[in-house]
């Protein structure tokens, strides 16, 4: 696939996920009618992310390197948006579960600071359910980040091997040329 087309698809795909996150109608009157509804929405989101991680693990085996990296990037964006959505819904239905979380941007900020292990403390899990969800997010982060590290190291290793093979081929060709001239 042409690099411009590949990057275009990647940017558009990730952009659509983020736009959907900010414009999905999630006001209490539209979606959250009871605690049971919230639990079902969060369960579906967690199961969806678990399915995405399992699909990603399978894709790491079945596809070429560039496509695996693209899928991993989309998976990371989807997991971040999914957890942001869960934290946002949780705090709307049970205020105080995540202290300092009031908007979707706050939820995205909290999810990203948890993903990056920075944890500034201005937005933090205060309730037991929120803390449990943070633990689940950390497990997802470990799976995704470990996969990303493995892919990047494989890509660098393959590039180094390829460079070394090209260098050896040039050296052998240069040696063969100097032998034929002698």
Please state, rounded to an integer, the average pLDDT across all residues of the chain.
Answer: 80
Q: Which residues contact 60 (CB under 8 A, 6 or more apart)?
A: 68, 72, 147, 151
Contact at 8 Å (CB) between 127 and 135? no
The alpha helices in 25-127, defined as continuous H runs, are 35-62, 65-93, 104-115
Query: The pTM is what?
Result: 0.66
Give the model's pLDDT for residue 171. Answer: 87
- Residue 153 has, within 13 A of its CA and on its CB side, a CA count of 6
Q: Could you report the per-residue pLDDT of 95-143, keeping only the tens digit for each?
A: 999 999 999 999 999 999 999 888 888 999 999 999 999 998 998 888 8
Residue 63 pLDDT exceeds 60: no
Q: Which CATH number does the domain housing residue 65 bear?
A: 1.10.287
Among 149, 89, 79, which Cα is nearest to 114's?
A: 79
User: Tokens at residue 110, please?
Assistant: 């909290």
List beta partners, residue 98.
125
Alpha carbon dihedral 87, 83, 43, 135, in 10-degree steps, equals -90
Provide the number of structural domains found in the chain: 1
* Backbone φ/ψ region at 110: left (φ over 0), alpha (ψ -120 to 50), beta: alpha
Please calculate the CA angle 102-36-27 and round it to the nearest 5 degrees. 35
Quote the DSSP letter at residue 98: E
Which structural domain range is residue 149 located in?
3-181
């Amino acid at each position: 696939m042409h690099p411009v087309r590949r990057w275009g698809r990647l940017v558009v795909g990730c952009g659509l996920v983020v736009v959907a996150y900010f414009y999905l109608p999630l006001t209490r009157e539209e979606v959250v009618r009871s605690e049971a509804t919230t639990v079902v929405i969060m369960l579906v989101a967690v199961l969806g992310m678990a399915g995405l991680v399992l699909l990603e693990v399978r894709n790491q085996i079945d596809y070429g390197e560039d496509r695996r990296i693209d899928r991993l990037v989309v998976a990371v964006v989807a997991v971040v948006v999914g957890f942001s959505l869960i934290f946002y819904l949780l705090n709307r239905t049970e205020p105080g579960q995540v202290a300092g979380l009031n908007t979707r941007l706050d939820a995205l900020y909290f999810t990203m600071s948890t993903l990056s292990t920075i944890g500034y403390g201005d937005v933090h899990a205060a309730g037991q359910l929120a803390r449990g969800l943070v633990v689940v997010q950390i497990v997802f982060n470990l799976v995704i980040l470990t996969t990303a590290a493995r892919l990047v190291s494989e890509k660098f290793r393959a590039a180094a091997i390829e460079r070394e093979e090209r260098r050896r081929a040039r050296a052998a060709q240069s040696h063969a040329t100097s032998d034929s001239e002698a």
